Amino acid sequence: MKFTRFNTVIFAGFLAIVGVIIMQLFLLNQAYIFEKKDVEDKIHFALQDVVNKIYKDNKKELPIGNQIKKVSENYFIVNVNDVFENNILEQYLKNEFEKVKLELDYEYAIYDCSSDAMVYGNYVSANGKEPSKFCADCFSKNSDLTYYFAVRFPNIKQTYFKSLSQYWIFTGVLFFVLIIYVYSVLLMLKQKRYTDLQKDFINNMTHEFKTPLASILIASNYANTQKEIIDNPKLSKYIQIIINQSNKLNQHIEKILYVAKTESKQIELEKSKVDLKVLLELVRENIFLKHQKEINIDIQLERNYIVQADEFHFYNLIYNIMDNAVKYSNQNPEIKIQSKENSKGLTLKFTDNGCGIPESDLPFVFDKFYRVAREDSKDIEGFGIGLSYVKRVCEWHKWKVDAKNNEEKGITITIQINKNDYE
């Protein structure tokens, strides 16, 4: 796999996810171990105090050694090695468990040497609710001891998990965030695949179109110079239509090619000093040549400006704005170009008298391939990349572009040129 920047970020994110999951599982395990040890210590201390009280009541000295034996996680045997009363034992157990704040249900049983069995058991509920049925079969006798009792905690495992509730909440939130991250990565990969397909399609399409189109233009221009064509007005008209439509198609292909190049970051600006007034007048003349109708283009500059920009893209930027203004205007398009200097730099405003743009579509007019839904859209040429190209050129120059509807009719497109980019 080729390690691009995108793949590196994805791989680093994957490693981070694995690390976070391992860390969280480790913290959960440590918290579980800590909680388990804490509960077992409370049980041990409470049972030891019960043994001390029994020996104290019998006025005997406590023997050396550990009288408490843990048989399993929830089962403990206490060697008393002396006689004791069952009602006193239950009271001692209640008191000592309350002292250490051990809020667990438990049941206990006492070994009877005469019957050689565990007898007199009882179930004690910690929360005061009705106790469950005592499980006599859950207690086993120990042949090595004579006077002892056993205590069993049936719900101790559930208590461990309940005490870790805050850790479970944190873990749930963490996994929710990780799911969102993974889903976002999958969407990014899907979008990247579509983008790569789009780039390949545009590059292949422009190549496959331009090759036969160049042949058509060469053949048409050659045919247009032949005496037979010149002498025949009808054929000359048809040849001229072929040439004009081929040039128009070539312009569309060039626009699509610009989009493909900008997506792959192949554009490099070649900035030079551009006379703004001369450039505007050149665009105006080309607009007049393209559109066979009466057009009024009024250029109102406060003074002559020299703009530091890529002349080729700057020309295309202005041409696209004015071309759109003419296409979406009525039979007598009027375009007013004004300049104004402010604290941020130079502002160029292109105001037309067209049909305007619905407010719901206005935020998206600079998006690639976006076209406003109109009744006459079939009669208007274009792929919806003109204003997208305008925005990209402004971004390359670090300028700002904005579009808004006029109060009466038409729209105004504003370009903000930085202070350092003109003189």
Domain membership flag for residue 139: yes
Q: Using the predicted structure, report yes or no on whether residue 221 has a pLDDT greater than 90.
A: no
Q: Using the predicted structure, report yes or no on whether residue 197 has a pLDDT greater than 50.
A: yes
Q: Using the predicted structure, report yes or no on whether residue 387 has a pLDDT greater than 50.
A: yes
Instruction: Report pLDDT for 380.
Output: 47
Instruction: Report pLDDT for 369.
Output: 66
Same domain flag for 14 and 100 = yes
Rounded Cα distance between 28 and 14, Å, is 21
Same domain flag for 129 and 146 = yes
Quick one: which of 345, 347, 354, 363 has its CA closest to 404? 363
Same domain flag for 258 and 275 = no
The beta-strand segments (E) located in 113-233 are 117-124, 148-152
Q: Using the predicted structure, report yes or no on whether residue 378 has a pLDDT greater than 50.
A: no
pLDDT in tens, 50-97: 888 888 888 888 777 788 888 888 889 888 877 788 788 888 888 888
Rounded Cα distance between 371 and 216, Å, is 30
Q: Using the predicted structure, report yes or no on whether residue 111 has a pLDDT greater than 70.
A: yes
Domain membership flag for residue 171: no
Which domain range does residue 339 map to? Answer: 271-421
Residue 271: how many CA atoms within 13 Å on its side-chain side? Answer: 11
Enumerate residues 6+ apart whose C-beta is below 8 A from 176: none
Same domain flag for 321 and 353 = yes
Instruction: Report pLDDT for 257.
Output: 67
CATH label of the domain that carries residue 308:
3.30.565.10
Same domain flag for 292 and 412 = yes
Same domain flag for 290 and 415 = yes
How many structural domains comprise the chain? 3
Rounded Cα distance between 20 and 179, Å, is 13
Final residue of a structural domain among 234, 263, 292: 263
Same domain flag for 256 and 277 = no
The predicted model gives 129-146 an average pLDDT of: 72
Instruction: Report pLDDT for 379.
Output: 45
How many residues can be counted in the chain?
423
Domain membership flag for residue 187: no
Quick one: which of 236, 233, 239 has its CA closest to 216? 239
Domain membership flag for residue 390: yes
Quick one: which of 49, 47, 86, 52 has its CA closest to 68? 47
Instruction: Report pLDDT for 265.
Output: 54
Q: Using the predicted structure, report yes or no on whether residue 184 has a pLDDT greater than 60.
A: yes
Same domain flag for 223 and 353 = no
Instruction: Report pLDDT for 240.
Output: 82
325: left (phi over 0), alpha (psi -120 to 50) or beta: alpha
| Most confident region among 192-196, 256-260, 303-307 by mean pLDDT | 303-307
Same domain flag for 255 and 276 = no
Rounded Cα distance between 323 and 394, Å, is 17
Instruction: Report pLDDT for 308.
Output: 92
State in Å, rounded, how far the first CA of the chain is from the last one: 50
Enumerate residues 6+ apart whose C-beta is below 8 A from 142: 77, 111, 148
Report CA 304 to chain centroid distance, whole Å. Answer: 47
Tell which wins on pLDDT, 374 or 41: 41
Same domain flag for 55 and 28 = yes
Domain membership flag for residue 172: no
Q: What percentage of the chain carries pLDDT values higher than 90?
A: 9
pLDDT in tens, 322-372: 888 888 877 788 899 999 998 889 999 999 888 878 887 777 788 776 666
The DSSP letter of residue 407 is: S
Kindly report which listed range (201-210, 222-231, 303-312) carries the lowest average pLDDT score: 201-210
Q: Using the predicted structure, report yes or no on whether residue 113 has a pLDDT greater than 70.
A: yes
Instruction: Report pLDDT for 130.
Output: 63
Domain membership flag for residue 300: yes
Q: How far is CA 25 from CA 35, 36, 230, in A?
A: 15, 16, 86
Residues pairing with 310 in the sheet? 271
